[in-house]
Amino acid sequence: MSRYFNQRFSTLIPYVPGEQPQDIQYIKLNTNESPFPPSPGVLKAVSSEVDKLQLYSDPTCRQLAEKLAELYGVKPSQVILTNGSDEALYFAFLAFADKDKPLVFPEITYGFYSVFADLCGIPYKTVCLQDDYTILPSDFIPQDGARQTVVIANPNAPTGLCLTLSEIESILQANQENLVIVDEAYIDFGGESAVSLIERYDNLLVTQTFSKSRSMAGARLGFAIGNEALISDMHTIRYSTNPYNVNRMTLSAGYAALVENEYYMSNCKEIVRVRDNTKKSLENRGFDVLSSSTNFLFARSNEICGEELYSKLKEKGILVRHFNKERIKDFIRVTIGTEEQMNCFLSAIDSILGKEGN
Ligand SMILES: *Cc1c(COP(=O)(O)O)cnc(C)c1O
């Protein structure tokens, strides 16, 4: 730490992203990327922008906002584009949470929530998951009418479990004075989107991303949908930090991806099919696997601890994610790749557990 670093950040513990090794070729099942490349139109769209890189991108993101609005059945003024959905979450925390409206989120969830909260100096409270790792919606009812800002990943990560739309609605109803942010990074793999509720609940903000279901993690594109006033506040924060937050190539790629949306939705179906087969295969090998509405599985073996399994898989060239957190330390989180990749993963498991030839 330099002697110039602000005191208020001296205890900040930054988010640790999943490994992105640049040395050997791993089968990468650790950061929930899509195993499928972007569609052909995206490649063309990106190259068509390269000779215009001397020009700033459109700060209003008009074309893409209109296209998204059309696809999701909302108005362009109810959409904001961001540099990954991480940025949408960051803008929302800055815009809407504060000391008198602290953040509330599940104890086991996306690690960035607590990091952003600390960065912004916003206090937060965590809500315990049930024994089966589910979220109990009534835990988000504010105590004695206290103000709070709710954040829920639905489906949740890294558990993969999701709440029903009516459970989300019960949280919205109990929090009419409070903003409820629903992070739908994985919604295209299962669960029902809360976007359909934005006209009825002005306290709802939904965030989504092109990183997982639309094969664009490296392009950094996310968005939030909510009522016009909320989105307008988010734009105030955006124009006050980084008006050109989405670059020219990504804007163009995002538009092309929506034109070819069918391709991505059929990839999602394939991932769901492979996910469900992989879950059965792991269960046949004695694993306890949480029910998944996402593009990953959260699984534990009673024969080997999570950290050891992670290391042994890595030695075999397969990267998965392990979280060093007491309640989930027995688990590994495995991104669903292609059928072929998952077969390699299962063979590696067999060899690690000494079950070859079964
Ligand atoms: C991956 C992920 C995000 C954000 O990813 P971006 O690449 O920034 O869009 C947000 N929330 C959850 C729960 C995620 O897993």
Cβ(85) – ligand 1 distance below 6 Å: yes
Cβ(353) – ligand 1 distance below 6 Å: no
**pLDDT (0 to 100) of residue 357:** 58
What is the 3 state secondary structure string of the chain?
Answer: CCCCCCHHHCCCCCCCCCCCCCCCCCEECCCCCCCCCCCHHHHHHHHHHHCCCCCCCCCCCHHHHHHHHHHHCCCHHHEEEECHHHHHHHHHHHHHCECCECEEEECCCCCHHHHHHHHHCCCEEEECCCCCCCCCHHHHCCHHHCCCEEEEECCCCCCCCCCCHHHHHHHHHHCCCCCEEEECCCHHHCCCCHHHHCCCCCCEEEEEECCCCCCCHHHCCEEEEECHHHHHHHHHHHHHHCCCCCCHHHHHHHHHHHHCHHHHHHHHHHHHHHHHHHHHHHHHCCCEECCCCCCEEEEECCCCCHHHHHHHHHHCCEECECCCCHHHCCEEEEECCCHHHHHHHHHHHHHHCCCCCC
Instruction: Tell me if 331 sits within 8 A of 299, measured CB to CB.
Output: yes
Query: What is d(CA 329, CA 341) in angstroms, rounded to the nearest whole number?
Result: 24
For ligand 1, atom 2, name the residue with the nearest CA.
185
**pLDDT (0 to 100) of residue 23:** 74
Distance from the alpha carbon of residue 112 to the mean position of ligand 1, in angstroms: 9
Instruction: Tell me if 213 sits within 8 A of 188, measured CB to CB.
Output: yes
Distance from the alpha carbon of residue 188 to the mean position of ligand 1, in angstroms: 13
Query: Residue 284: which residues within 8 A CB-CB, separation 6 or more?
Result: none
Give the relative orientation of helices 84-96 and 228-241 as an angle to the nearest 10 degrees. Answer: 100
Atom number in ligand 1 closest to CA 153: 13
Q: Which of 182, 205, 211 to mutate to test the pocket of ligand 1 (most atoms within 8 A of CB)?
A: 211
Q: Which of 183, 205, 294 to mutate to test the pocket of ligand 1 (most atoms within 8 A of CB)?
A: 183
Mean pLDDT in runs of 10 for the chain (358 residues)? 93 88 87 97 97 97 98 98 98 98 98 95 97 98 93 98 98 98 98 97 98 98 98 98 97 98 98 98 98 98 96 96 96 98 98 80
Distance from the alpha carbon of residue 154 to the mean position of ligand 1, in angstroms: 11
Distance from the alpha carbon of residue 215 to the mean position of ligand 1, in angstroms: 13
For ligand 1, atom 12, name the residue with the nearest CA.
185
